[in-house]
Structure 1
Amino acid sequence: MSDYEIDAGYLQHVLESLLACPSPSGMTDAIVRQTCHELDMLDIPYELTRRGAIRATVRGKGEGPTRAIAAHLDTLGAMVKGMKPNGRLRVVPIGTWSARFAEGARVSIHCEDGLQYRGTILPLKASGHTYDTEIDSQPSDWGNLEIRIDARCHSEEDIARLGIRVGDFVAIDSVPEFSPEGFINARHLDDKAGVASLLAAASAVQRSGITPAVDSHLLFTISEEVGVGASNVLHGEVAEMVAIDNGTIAPGQYTSEYGATIAMKDSSGPFDRNLTLFLESLCQSHDIPYSRDVFLHYRSDAAAALEAGNDIRTALLCFALDASHGYERTHRDSLIAIARLLAAYMLAPPMFAKEEMALGPQSEFPLIEGVATDD
């Protein structure tokens, strides 16, 4: 049985507020401040890197090496590539996502000095009354898209007069919908649903009154969607890190749509076997529904941390996500399962108590895979 309870209302409130705050990679200051506010409310200390990644700490008794849990605040987005003679904007993506899912999106164009304009991403041939079947035959490609600005704008000079410039950020509307059945539809659930689950887990640990055995560093990264992620936000004493990201609902995948998913491998390679089996044992001992899965076409904060030279064990926990990097859908039960597992992980004893030192003799290297031991 668990010694804590996840506040589902708090989790949804945090997710709603995160989804309302635009945060494409490269424009994350606002959501960093918002997350810091949530940490202040939870009375969890934190510090910021130069670029704005957050390192928060749920304090433990200090027994053994510390652990880290990472989720990313940045999302997909777009950027103004240029101006067109018809008063519309060329656009390029921020992060990797299909132009197919950009067509029809409502957006905000963020200019300097806080100036913003609303607009819509449209294919070049957007009117069926004019182009007939050519609408269906035009290719789905970012070079075939433009932004129609909600302003009296019909030339490059009009665009310049508005103050819109090349390189201005374009934030894509999230358009969230929370159904009574527990389904959550929105853009940018990757990874704001993971952030909300992590904060809900931290809230549960704080409310439990239990002091964890070791420190857990909560890492909120700001550039995962462009491949950087947790490359420079780790503390030196961290021995293991769990990343939180999405698990895809699709044929051939085994992601649990209403539970937690433990990733065994992604495009960067297999995850640490000891740590994944340890997380699986927590699911079993706390009656948390879960599955295993393997992902071929994406990577997470964990890969960036290893590529930066951090000698740590890594694992990846996933909430369910249908139509990832598009119009995404998850379920409340999956987010609660992730939050429960993260809280159990924060409250669990160290997996291997002798891993505080980065280097040591062979006699101290753990040999028992998947079993938490102090021997």
Structure 2
Amino acid sequence: MTLMPDQTLPEIDADYLRDELAALLDIPSPTGLTDGAVAHVCGALQAMGLEVALTRLGAIRARLPGAQAEGARACVGHLDTLGAQVKALKPNGRLALVPVGHWSARFAEGARVTVMAETTRIRGTILPPLASGHTFGDEVDRAPIGWDHVELRIDARAETAADLEALGIAIGDHVAIDPQTEFMDSGYIVSRHLDDKAGVAAMLAALKSLVASGLTPPVDCWWFFTIAEEVGHGAAGVVLPDIASLVAVDNGTTAPGQNSRETGVTIAMADQTGPFDYHLTRKLVQLCRADGIDHQKDIFRHYRSDSASALEAGADVRTALVTFGVDASHGYERIHMDALTSVARLLALYALSPVEIAQDALPLHDPRTGA
């Protein structure tokens, strides 16, 4: 599963990866409003000379041609992020919110945001109703946590629901949460929405290395960028019939009781939907060992990724999940560049590795025709 002596895979361009991540984090893309991020990634893929197409819903398919189409592989990451929507225009001129994706209002309190109204963009802050210690004293600390206990104060004159309507704000408007990104000299990156824009940046860096190598993978390798993973149906409509295996790229959770780390690659053995494919997962582990990529295994009990939505939609593919360790996932997240470059290298090596399961190179069997 290693490259031949006359084959060279260029090192992962860490500067390119970092620049792509910074650009993606700067583009708001809460689930349901991802056009800007999709356009950016399409541009990056086309700059590499890749074939790019959009699904009807707006997810991206890009093909890196291989020696044959049958038994194709795919890697998938998601462009959508957590966010919120306007639930109601409150009589006090504030906005009630509902979350987009699963995240705690604990991490929403104090967030700077943009209301993405139909004809305007308005800045604001998510606050608890009891936001002033000078007014409410210790009651501030005793206030409950939850989406029913926060409201959005916009940075415009609005004292009534009618004022909000006059500003062009309506129920259902998307609310994009500021990432508050910091890149540290130590290699750490702190930001919201590293899930999964860091994974997308790693995928783009892997593709850049593959294209620069000039090497032809043994089979077509597809690169999917989905737009609704945070609400559970990201890869449901992107997998093509010729694809035999699908590797999802997403965040791993570094926390007590978990084996994930913020360095190297964390390979998931199972998530809440069950074990990943034994053969595909073992292949990824062996690629790490052969190339000296720092890695570890983990199991995620309260977690699912694009691979789950593909399987639930009926895709007949082997699935695996490779992750970069994230501290405080779905909160104020932190990762390290080492994990991202490690993930990118593993993906590139996987794309070039031989097909070892003969059945995966065969066309799909159709029981109706016997073909």
Map of 1:219-238 to 2, 5 A cutoff? 219-238=224-243
Question: How much has 1:360 moved relative to structure 2?
Answer: 8.4
Report the alpha carbon displacement of residue 300 of structure 1 after superposing the two structures with TM: 0.4
The corresponding residue for 2:257 is 252
Matched, 1:294 2:299: yes
Q: Which residue of 1 aligns with 2:43?
A: 37
Q: Superposition pairs for residues 200-279 of structure 1, below 5 Å?
A: 200-279=205-284
User: How many angstroms apart in 1 are the aligned matches of 2:192 and 2:65?
Assistant: 33
The answer to whether the 8 A contact 1:278-1:351 is kept is: no
Given that 2:9 and 2:209 are in contact with CA atoms closer than 8 Å, whether structure 1 keeps it comes out as no
Structure-2 separation of matches of 1:285 and 1:136: 53
CA–CA distance in structure 2, aligned partners of residues 171 and 245 of structure 1: 21
Deviates more, 1:346-355 or 1:135-144: 346-355
Uncovered stretches (5+) of structure 2, i.e. residues with no partner: none
Once residues 58 and 192 of structure 2 are traced to their aligned partners in structure 1, the CA distance between those partners, rounded to angstroms, is: 23
Alpha-carbon deviations, 1:189-216, whole Å to 9, x = none?
Answer: 0000000000000000000111111111
Cα shift at 1:63? 6.5
**Secondary structure at 2:97's aligned position in 1?**
strand
List structure 1 runs of 4+ shifted beyond 3 angstroms: none
Count the aligned residue pairs: 360
Residue 64 of structure 1, CA deviation: 4.5
Shift of 1:106: 0.2
Tell me, yes or no, if the aligned pair for 1:65 and 1:239 is still in contact at 8 Å.
Answer: yes
8 Å CA contact 1:64–1:353 kept in 2: the answer is no
- 1:70-116 CA distances to partner (integer Å, 9 max, x unpaired)? 00000000000111111111111000000000000000001113x10
**Counterpart of 2:53 in structure 1: which amino acid?**
E
Q: SS at the partner of 1:24?
A: coil
* CA distance in 1 between partners of 2:131 and 2:262 (Å): 35
State the match for 1:367 in structure 2: none
2:80 is aligned to: 74
- Aligned-residue offset at 1:256: 2.7
Question: Aligned residue for 2:346?
Answer: 341
Name the structure 2 match of 1:59.
65
Q: Residues 110-145 of structure 1, C-alpha deviation per residue, up to 9 Å, x if partnerless? A: 1113x1000000001000000111111011110000
RMSD: 1.2
Q: Structure 2 residue aligned with 1:20, among 18, 26, 32? A: 26
1:47 counterpart residue number: 53
SS in 1 for 2:309: helix
- For 2:358 and 2:337, the matched residues in 1 are separated by 34
- Structure 1 residue identity aligned to 2:231: V
Is residue 74–residue 245 contact of structure 2 (8 Å, CA) maintained in 1? yes
Identify the range of structure 1 (249-258 vs 124-133) with the bigger mean alpha-carbon deviation.
Answer: 249-258
Pick which of 18-27 and 58-67 moved more: 58-67
Distance in 1 between residues matched to 2:236 and 2:157, nearest whole Å: 44
Whole-angstrom CA distance in 2 between matches of 1:226 and 1:360: 32
Matched residue SS, 1:354: helix
Shift in Å, 1:320: 0.8
- Aligned mates of 2:306, 2:165 — CA distance in 1: 38
Distance 1:56 1:63, change over 3 A: closer
Match of 2:356 in 1: 351
Partner Cα separation in structure 2 for residue 31 and residue 319 of structure 1: 21
Q: 1:318 aligns with which of 323, 345, 349?
A: 323
Tell me the amino acid that sits aligned with residue 88 of structure 1.
R
Q: Secondary structure at the match of 2:169?
A: coil
Separation in 2, partners of 1:63, 1:227: 29
- Looking at structure 2, the residues matched to 185 and 256 of structure 1 have their Cα atoms a distance apart, in angstroms, of 15
Matched, 1:171 2:171: no
Unaligned runs of 5+ in 1: 362-375
Q: In structure 2, how many angstroms separate the alpha carbons of the residues matched to 1:342 and 1:250?
A: 25
Q: Distance in 2 between matches of 1:56 and 1:90?
A: 39
Deviation string 1:149-207 (CA, Å, 9 cap, x unpaired) is 00011111111110100000000001110000000000000000000000000000000
Q: Any conservation in 2 of the 1:184–1:332 contact (CA below 8 Å)?
A: yes
Secondary structure at 1:280's aligned position in 2? helix
